[in-house]
Amino acid sequence: MTADNAMPRLGVLRKMAKIDSPLEGITVVELGHSVAAPYAGLILADLGARVIKVENPRSGDYARGWGPPFWRDTASLFHALNRGKEGVTVDFGDAQDCARLKSLIVEQADAVIQNLRPGILDKFGLTAETLRAEKPELIWCDIGAFGAKGPLANKPGYDPLAQATTGIMSVTGEGDRPPVRVGVSLVDMGSGMWAIIGLLAGLIARMNGREGRTVSTSLYETGLAWMTGPLAGFAASGEVRKPHGSGAAEIVPYQAFQASDGWLMIAAGNDNLFRKLCGALGLEALSVDPAFVTNAARVANRDRLIPQIEVAALRYSAEALGKLLDEAGVPNAPLLSVDQVAMHPQTSALEMTVRCVGDEIDLVGIPLAFDGARPRARTQAPRLGEHNAILRTQASKEAVNAK
């Protein structure tokens, strides 16, 4: 490389070095517990923001005790949701603690994310209205339970309550069995994602000379958003469809089938894929049967079609069936357990897990990459009050200013 072209290359390298931390220089205070706000904070930390997590000095975030399993003396879930953050404790019953937190937000924070019970911050003057009056550019993100208005507005909430009340549990599981919740906190984590989308939109608006804003989302609203398809179906037909286990109400065949030694998810999502599936399984007659030629016909005649595919699938091992369908061009995937997913070469190839500095537990990163590089924070989840020096420094500044 010559001296003439070295400088442009150096500029590219510097740009690449920065791309992993697009929110570098942004400071966010997280007044959160459990999953929703902490997951939002995790996303921000992986994107390069400085995230200061605020906890109760006595109990800390409830999620610290959500185990076993524990990693060292803290629940593994807490480590997963809170790596990359600084941690301080604030006693809201202590006026000085509240004043220091307020000063920290006004002087240093670009944004606040919070998912505390409705009205709890009002008692301490730590509200969007109060803080944005002092700092108009502040972006405040509320993650509520059931939304800011309506008959359930003041009701506390958790992920399974939102899954229940938004209909997610009604379309999950099997129609003749007891209700089943989705096994991961998809409403909590989805709410955190919506909060981040709103926060990033606020940052862009602020870059264009506009003031900060209050961003609001809730578990209930997020649950309704996940129900976009079923609610549209009800609006169109007035029909309340039963859940179909691993299948879908609107597409057939689109479900897990049992092979001789395991299960395989098969997604024949259109008429052409159905014909390919029939050819691969030796069921060509079904592909020309008027009762099954179109997806609408297959949905109507699901109970006649599925048993015939089930019989054919049982002739093969899961691996052999998957290979057969791959060759035929039919989308399929094995049903993997948690340990199988953790050890899967695809998980490894995508470098989705991260180990923090000085730690040995594999934690999942955010599903984003910039120019092929995955952004991630590598500091461990904070011990309770580990970074309280931040507040002590803030108190020292106040003392100096008072003089």
Query: Which active-site residues does the annotation give?
Result: 188
Tokens of 22: 């697009």
- Helix (H) and strand (E) counts in the chain: 17, 13
Crossing angle of helices 271-281/318-328, nearest 10°? 130
Residues whose CB falls within 8 Å of the CB of residue 348, separated by 6 or more in sequence, listed in order:
none
How many whole angstroms separate alpha carbon 337 and alpha carbon 318? 14
Question: What separation in angstroms does the CA of 4 have from each of 9, 12, 250?
Answer: 10, 14, 61
Residues in the chain: 403
How many whole angstroms separate alpha carbon 63 and alpha carbon 188? 13
Contact 376, 42 (CB under 8 A): no
Hey, which bits of 3-102 come out as E strands? 27-31, 50-55, 70-71, 74-75, 86-89
Classify burial at 86, counting beta carbons within 10 Å of its beta carbon; exposed 0-12, middle 13-18, buried 19 or more. buried
How many whole angstroms separate alpha carbon 98 and alpha carbon 106? 12
